[in-house]
Amino acid sequence: VTNGGKTTLAEKLKKMLPNCDIISQDDFFKPESEVETDERGFKLYDVLDALYMDEMVKSIRNWMKSPESSGVVTEELQNTCDNLKNTEDVYILIVEGFLLYNYEPLCEIWNRRYFLTLPYEECKRRRSTRVYQPADTPGYFDGHVWPMYLKYKNELEENATNIVYLDGTKSQEELLSCVYSDIIQELKKLRE
């Protein structure tokens, strides 16, 4: 969901996990001139066609081929706990965005999938505090953003499996703790 805390969560995880990098779907938006406009004058940003998805897939696959040469900086981790010992040869890529699980070429690459949700009112409130380029026009949230979120969420629920749904109204600390713990469990499995 838009403004659900995806980027914030990804950035906090990156600081806590070894050899971790992020690819953000927001970096693959087409220029405004290439984004379709509907009959109401709304720029259709909340659809896959507004993104260079092939380029995103290529970036992910390139990272997967050679994560150690991807520019990931092994920094002193903020959380140096016993859970992370013997993981220096493991590389973690966090891919964050709002239309990831509905794009078929990406479906087979996910190890873990998290989906942040927000109720309508909270989402609209958060969205109203953000400044976008181009700016949201009056009625854009109700006329395009929220309906597209519901459409893609419904498709996801019908077609995807193994998704952990996260309540975006929970505190950043709670969300971070939940996802971090889950990733630590995955790392333990890799070591075994």
Query: Which residues are catalytic, by number?
Result: 26
Contact (CB, 8 A) for 69 and 42? no
Per DSSP, the residues of 2-50 read TTSSHHHHHHHHHHHSTTEEEEEGGGGBPPGGGS-B-TTS-B--SSGGG
Enter the tokens of residue 145. 């953003």
User: At residue 192, what is the residue type?
Assistant: E
